[in-house]
Amino acid sequence: MTSFVLRGVTDHFQVYFRDDLGSPGQDVADHILAACETDYSFLQSVFGGLTPPGIPFQIRVFPAGSIGGASHSGCSSTSIIVDAVLGDTYRSVLLAVASEVAEVLMAAAGTGWDCSASHGEALSRVLGAILYPHDIDGDATAKLWLASNRDDWVTRNFPSDGDKTSIGCGSLFLSYLRYQCQYGWDQITQARATTLSSVYFDVGTNIKPIPRSGDAFEPFAGLIRRAYTASASFDKDAGMDNPFPLTPDILFYDPENDEIELTSVAATGDDIERIALFPAGGHTPHWWTDIVAGSFTDTVLSDLVLYDRHTGTTEIRSADGTGAFTLLYTTTLGVDIASYNDNRSRIVPGRFSRDGAYSGLVVYEPAHQRGYLLQPRGNGDFRGFGPDHLGWRSTWQRIAAGNFTRGSSLSDLLFYDLNSEVIEMYSSNGDGTFRWLCGQSEQPGASWQVIVPCNFTGGQLSDLLLYSAFTNKLEFRTTDGYGNWRTLTTYSDFPPCTDIVTLGFGLLLCYNRDAGEGRFYSVNSDGAARFITSHLGWRKTWTKIIAGHFVEWR
> Which residues on adjacent β-strands are paired with residue 59?
15, 80
Q: State the Cα–Cα distance between residues 222 and 503, nearest whole angstrom.
A: 16
Q: State the Cα–Cα distance between residues 194 and 431, nearest whole angstrom.
A: 31
Q: State the Cα–Cα distance between residues 461 and 521, nearest whole angstrom.
A: 22
Per-residue pLDDT at 552 = 79
Task: Output the CA–CA distances (angstroms, integers) from residue 167 to 223, 346, 477, in the order listed.
Answer: 19, 41, 30
pTM: 0.85
Rounded to a whole number of angstroms, the CA Rg of the chain reads 24
Q: State the Cα–Cα distance between residues 118 and 124, nearest whole angstrom.
A: 10
Q: What is the 3-state secondary structure (H, E, C) of 453-486?
A: EECCCCCCCCEEEEEECCCCEEEEEEECCECCEE
Which helix (H) or strand (E) segment is 26 a member of? helix 22-46
**CA-based end-to-end distance of the chain:** 65
Fold of 249-548: Methylamine Dehydrogenase; Chain H (2.130.10)
* In contact, 20 and 78? CB cutoff 8 Å: no
Q: State the Cα–Cα distance between residues 306 and 324, nearest whole angstrom.
A: 15
What are the backbone dihedrals phi and psi of residue 143, each rounded to the nearest 5 degrees, phi first? -65, -25
- Locate the domains of the chain by residue range: 1-109, 111-230, 249-548
* In contact, 120 and 106? CB cutoff 8 Å: yes
Closest C-alpha among 448, 450, 452, 487 to residue 471: 448
Closest C-alpha among 464, 461, 416, 465 to residue 442: 416
List the pLDDT tens digit at each of the 554 positions of the chain: 789 999 999 999 999 999 999 998 999 999 999 999 999 999 999 998 999 999 999 999 999 888 888 999 999 999 999 998 766 567 889 999 999 999 999 999 999 999 999 999 999 999 998 888 766 656 778 889 988 999 999 999 999 999 999 999 999 999 999 888 888 888 899 999 999 999 998 886 555 545 445 688 988 998 888 777 654 555 443 345 788 888 889 999 999 999 999 998 876 666 778 888 888 886 555 689 999 999 888 777 899 999 998 888 999 999 988 889 999 999 888 877 766 667 788 899 999 998 767 889 999 999 999 999 999 988 888 999 999 999 999 999 999 999 999 878 899 999 999 999 999 999 999 999 999 999 999 998 889 999 999 988 777 789 999 999 999 999 999 998 889 999 999 999 999 999 999 987 678 999 999 999 999 998 988 899 999 999 999 999 999 999 999 987 65
Per-residue pLDDT at 135 = 64
Peptide bond into 444 cis (omega under 30): no
Q: How many CB atoms lie within 10 A of CB 412?
A: 26
HSE, CB side, 13 Å, CA atoms: give it for residue 437. 27
Q: State the Cα–Cα distance between residues 265 and 245, nearest whole angstrom.
A: 15
What are the backbone dihedrals phi and psi of residue 536, each rounded to the nearest 5 degrees, phi first? -100, 165
* In contact, 454 and 442? CB cutoff 8 Å: no
Per-residue pLDDT at 143 = 85
What are the backbone dihedrals phi and psi of residue 40, each rounded to the nearest 5 degrees, phi first? -65, -40
> Which residues on adjacent β-strands are paired with residue 518?
511, 535
How long a stretch of residues is the chain?
A: 554
Task: Output the CA–CA distances (angstroms, integers) from residue 166 to 161, 190, 253, in the order listed.
Answer: 9, 22, 41
DSSP string spanning 315-378? EEEEE-BSS-EEEEEEEE-------TT-----EEEE--BSSSS--EEEEEEGGGTEEEEEEE-B
Fold of 1-109: Zincin-like (3.30.2010)
Cα-to-chain-centroid distance, residue 471: 29
Contacts of 141 (CB under 8 A, 6+ apart): 122, 125, 164, 165, 167, 168, 171, 241
Q: What is the dihedral of CA 482, 417, 243, 264, to 10 degrees?
A: 170
Closest C-alpha among 492, 494, 478, 488 to residue 526: 488
Indicate the SS3 state at residue 113.
Answer: coil
Please determine whether the domains at 1-109 and 249-548 fall in the same fold group of CATH.
no
377-387: buried (b, 16+ CB within 10 Å) or exposed (e) per residue? Answer: ebebebeebbe
Longest pairwise C-alpha distance within the chain: 86
Q: State the Cα–Cα distance between residues 280 and 168, nearest whole angstrom.
A: 41
